Amino acid sequence: MCDGGTINMTKRILPGRGINYLKPAILLIFAVYIAIRVPIFFSPANLISVISQGAVIGVASIGMSMVILAGEIDISVGAIIYCTGAIASEIFIETGNLPFAVLAAIASGALFGAINGFGVAKLKIPSMITTLAVSNILSGLGSIIIGSDSTLAAGSAYKVLSQTKILGLLSSSWIYLLLFAVFAVVICKTRFGRYIYAIGDNQDALRASGIRVDRVMMAIFILTGMLCGVGGLIATSRLGGTQFNLSLGTEVYCIAAVVVGGISMSGGRGNIGGLFLGVFIVAALDNLLRLMSVNVYMYNVIWGIVIFLVVLLDVLEKTQKTRGVRRISLNLNKNQEKER
């Protein structure tokens, strides 16, 4: 898969690439531990279940990967999923029209994403602050839609969207796989995808070349909102409705999936192909913790540690490469001085 069209010569010449091998080594050790401790985890039925359970995280992670590649962050992802799912459930309950509910979820997701994009691209408010504000607004709005009963039961007809089996996989899995394939092409093969990488790498240089960076940034957040709308549909149709706080906090898993997949939190670097593996690993860890019946409080502790470690590895890798580049530059300067 692509890496933004850039030629990374330092990958071959930088000394001390131990960090690059640390992630695979940790995963290998972890896989051996799982095979011994929870052998049922690797059964075909459970692995198919992992793909299905990871569909919501996967769809939302596609959007999160674009945002992070552009050097920004979106912590409203879970709230958009929650609110769009509530909107779709309510509309289906009132009208019984599934296509209308689908369109409402995606359109509302686009609207929420546009609000994020406007705050970041036009008003120049840091993405962390903008998306935090939007997250709080949508969390409250979603709860208002659900109402005092804390649930919205849309019925079994609503489950068709994500629970239909096709060639052994649930339709939710196929939706995720199709969207991943489409956006992998968009990010790797189109001008828009190159702009995403360029914004994260050097936004000022891109702006100096005449590209409307604000428009690209708006498009990134709108697409992320639409993907979260699809995630809201999958999450709610899986249950046949929605409930209080459903999918809030999904952004944590998305960030983990993106970083585990090899995309740098600093933006402009990363292979979108690794995102698929990152999503699977995150979904698998979630599945494993549930199989082991981990206490809900310990569950949150473990995920907090996971997020800290994956981001720490990303920072260490970036620091190592920066030091390597400086060392190479110094050696080149010394050689040039000797030649003079």
Is residue 200 one of the residues assigned to a domain?
yes
Q: Which domain holds residue 188?
A: 42-330
pLDDT the model gives residue 320: 67
pLDDT one digit per residue (tens) for the chain, 340 residues: 676 654 343 444 444 445 555 666 666 676 677 767 777 877 888 888 888 889 999 999 999 999 999 999 999 999 999 999 999 999 999 998 999 999 999 999 999 999 999 999 999 999 999 999 999 999 999 999 998 887 888 888 899 988 889 888 899 999 999 999 999 999 999 999 999 999 998 888 888 888 899 999 999 999 999 999 999 999 999 999 999 989 898 999 999 899 888 888 888 888 888 899 889 888 888 888 888 877 877 888 888 888 888 778 777 776 766 655 455 555 555 555 655 5
- Are residues 113 and 225 in contact, defined by beta-carbon separation less than 8 angstroms? yes
Residue positions counted in the chain = 340
With residue 242 as reference, give the H or E element that holds it.
strand 241-243
Is residue 14 one of the residues assigned to a domain?
no
Q: Residue 85 carries which side chain, given as an amino acid letter?
A: G
Instruction: State the residue for tokens 């959007």.
Output: 63
Is residue 337 one of the residues assigned to a domain?
no
Is residue 7 one of the residues assigned to a domain?
no
> 31: left (phi > 0), else alpha (psi -120 to 50), else beta?
alpha
Q: Nearest CA to 244 among 151, 118, 173, 111?
A: 151
Is residue 10 one of the residues assigned to a domain?
no
First-residue to last-residue Cα distance in the chain: 43
pLDDT the model gives residue 15: 43
Q: Nearest CA to 138 among 84, 90, 101, 89?
A: 84
Instruction: State the residue for tokens 């110094």.
Output: 330
pLDDT the model gives residue 46: 82
pLDDT the model gives residue 146: 93
Q: Angle at CA 132, nearest 5°, toward 70 and 58?
A: 55
pLDDT the model gives residue 189: 92
**What is the number of structural domains in the chain?**
1
CATH of the domain at 101: 1.10.3470
